[in-house]
Copies of this chain bind each other. A is one copy, B any other.
Amino acid sequence: MKKYPSALENLIESFSKLPGVGRKTAERYALYTFTKMPEEDITDFSNALISMHKDISVCPCCGNITESGLCSICSDETRKHDQILVVESIKDLYKIESVGEYNGIYHVLNGVISFSKGIGIDDLNIDSLIEKVKNGEISEVILATNATLEGETTARYIRELLNEYNIKVTRLAHGLPVGGDLSYSDEMTILKAFEGRTEY
């Protein structure tokens, strides 16, 4: 394929750094931006990238997004600070917050252990979790990583690390989704539902 002018090639390259975006999609995004996006939208886009980087940062305590210092959850005195819910990503944290049930604090790992992707324990935000458990008065750690190979591996690993501390470690229940149809569920979910079955 013939090369586009460098100004467009640079934009294609930037787009192709996004997750799951290959050359073809990046080209589509860049050409769309060039041919169809109004000037003010492009300026907004460019500014949003810079101000995202300038105005928000990672909460030093839990790894959540924050606009300054501790995040709104960590700095909330009304929440239970002895209960930590461990999630893979900020997205998962927001999802759980939207349910409105959980009232403890969080810990965002920012990924999961993945041998295939070369993500090891040092790439994750695990040390600070252990540090918190060691220093703080934590009574329960709830592991809410996903029920994937990577999520399970990560949960197991953290469970091992927490063994030497006298705290309760729990894992969110996996099973059939409420309102879901059994016939549409995958095997692993059904197996998990059996494992976790309760007296009725």
The residues of A with any CB-CB pair to B shorter than 8 Å are 1-2, 4-5, 7-8, 10-11, 13-14, 17-20, 27-35, 37, 39, 41-56, 58, 65-67, 89-91, 94-95, 97-98, 110
Contacts and interface: CB of A to CB of B under 8 A. Distances in A.
B65 A14 contact: no
Contacts of A39: 53
A25 B158 CA distance: 29
B94 A45 contact: no
Q: Quick one: which of A4, A14, A37, A44 has the most chain B CB within 10 A?
A: A14
14 contacts: A4-B65, A5-B55, A5-B56, A5-B67, A7-B56, A17-B41, A19-B28, A19-B32, A30-B52, A31-B91, A42-B50, A42-B53, A46-B49, A46-B50
A110 B35 contact: yes
A14 B48 contact: yes
A32 B10 contact: no
Contacts of A41: 14, 17
